[in-house]
Chains A and B, each alone.
Chain A
Amino acid sequence: MDGIHDLGGMHGFGAVVAPGGEAPYHERWAARVCALHMLVELERLGARPGGRATREEMDPVDYLAASYFERWLWSAEQGLLRKGTIAAGEVEHMMERLAAGGPEPPPHRDPEQAARAVERLREVVPMQPATRPRFVPGQGVRVRRMHPAGHTRCPRYVRGARGVVERVRGAEELPDLAVYERDAPVEPVYAVAFGSDELWGRGEEPPWTVALDLWESYLEEAE
């Protein structure tokens, strides 16, 4: 989806090094939202397409105005609402209750869930080996011109550009479909390198390389 999240190459955002940039979060609520969102996904309490693709659907003005974990809070709530785990209005009702000094629900203890979460977060699921990859290292490829309405891992700034395959990373479900449905097709994933002149034209800086991992259906043979 050509949304506001696809930021590579955009102008106007100002300095990278700025006050408040160092820590992952500055407020306790953000730490807890981060953990809560992971648990919502681990326990499958939210609807597809999951946090990342849901945040891409955020209104672009809200996306830019929100802090990072504010977006996570939004996507956690959206997933829970869409799955029917919570009903519309329930969060607001609880907010009113808490703000009025009403009784806070007692903490819910579940040591098994805690242990399960930590274990799952330490699991490793390696990429499968690629069988019959269409492209080989050293081969020139061109990223397809495309305009998908849904989630994709192919950023706008490489579409149409010519690059060179450096490595076959392995094979993985195509994220464009996998976030929405089970049993999405598994495709080879390639590390593809692009020259800065190809992506941006000649600028003030000496040429550099941008490399990223692209699924086979994002690519076609370069002429």
Chain B
Amino acid sequence: MSTEHGHDHHPRPDSELALRARALEALLAEKGLVATDAIDAVVELYERDVGPQNGARVVAHAWTDPAYRERLLADGAKAIAELGFVGAQGDNLVAVANTPSVHNVVVCTLCSCYPWPVLGLPPTWYKSPPYRARVVAEPRAVLGEFGLELPDEVEIRVWDSSAEVRYLVVPMRPAGTDGLTEEALRALVTRDCMIGTAVPQTGSR
């Protein structure tokens, strides 16, 4: 298979799928079963309120408050709830911390389980066959595609999520960030840092 193909290459045209999706929504609206405004509300929830900005707040807080970090690593779900982040697909959230000797990376080989309350909806690559097939079997090659090279002595731990247990990676705080406020630290914590396919970068890199 060519590596040139994109993730959205598939034989059925979007126009036909869009029509089918519109028809299903219209049918359920006509039957009075699924409300148009309920669909709007759920779409908005994940486009506006729930996304990686939530996870970045959790991580930056853990970087600046050692007691919070301890609570986060002991009971992830309870600790994210302290900051107001709760909900579907985060019930049994486990936070795993990177250290100088351990790097964590998260996948769901069977479907697309992901810690929604802190990261929102997963990117397409996370849900697609290449990542799900490969990261458990050749993690360094996959991380290399993301531009992440780790020393040989670092143990990579791949967490294969389930519907009941989801993972959030707590990356290491980069050196040279002692003077930054918690708010400024949040900007360093990207989505991929919390999946484990990247590590936080400071401006000097």
Contact = CB atoms under 8 A, between A and B. Distances in A.
Instruction: Tell whether A pairs with B.
Output: yes
Interface of A: 5-36, 38-40, 43, 45, 52, 55, 64-68, 70, 73, 76-77, 80, 85-86, 90-92, 94-95, 97-99, 104-111, 113-118, 120-127, 153, 155, 157, 169-170, 172, 175, 189, 191, 193, 199-200, 203, 205-206, 208-213
A4 to B, nearest CB: 9
B81 A9 contact: no
Interface in B73-87: 77, 81, 86-87
Contact of A32 (B1, B21, B160): B21
A178 to B, nearest CB: 10
Contacts of B134: 13, 16
Given A124-B91, A209-B156, A210-B160, A189 B7 contact: no
Contacts of B1: 12-14
B34 A36 contact: yes
Contact of B37 (A99, A111, A209): A111
Which of B2, B90, B128, B141 has the most CB atoms of chain A within a 10 A radius of its CB?
A: B128
Which of B22, B110, B129 has the most CB atoms of chain A within a 10 A radius of its CB?
A: B110
Interface string B129-140: 111111111111
Interface string B147-176: 000001101111111111100000000000
Interface stretch (B60-68, B118-126, B179-187): B118-126
A5 B132 CA distance: 9
Q: Give me the 6 closest cross-chain CB pairs, A-B, nearest first.
A: A110-B35, A8-B109, A21-B125, A35-B42, A24-B121, A107-B36
A175 B33 CA distance: 28
Contacts of B90: 124
A106 to B, nearest CB: 8
Given A34-B43, A153-B110, A209-B158, A17 B145 contact: yes
A18 to B, nearest CB: 5
Contacts, number: 311
Nearest to B150: A206
Interface of B: 1-3, 5-8, 10-12, 14, 17-43, 45-47, 77, 81, 86-88, 90-92, 94, 109-112, 117, 120-125, 127-142, 145-146, 152-153, 155-165
A108 B161 CA distance: 37
Contacts of A191: 94, 165
B25 A85 contact: no
Contacts of B142: 16
Nearest to A104: B26
B198 to A, nearest CB: 11
B6 A19 contact: yes
Contacts of A104: 26
A42 to B, nearest CB: 9
A68 B20 contact: no
Contacts of A199: 136-137
Given A6-B110, A97-B23, 5 more contacts: A23-B124, A31-B47, A68-B127, A121-B45, A127-B92
Contact of A95 (B20, B36, B109, B163): B20
A177 B7 CA distance: 33
B42 A22 contact: no
A35 B155 contact: no
Contact of A117 (B26, B38, B81, B159): B38
B110 to A, nearest CB: 6
B6 A9 contact: no
A108 B31 CA distance: 9
Given A29-B18, A55-B111, A189-B164, A117 B158 contact: no
B164 A24 contact: no
Nearest to B124: A21
Contacts of A33: 21, 24
A25 B112 CA distance: 14
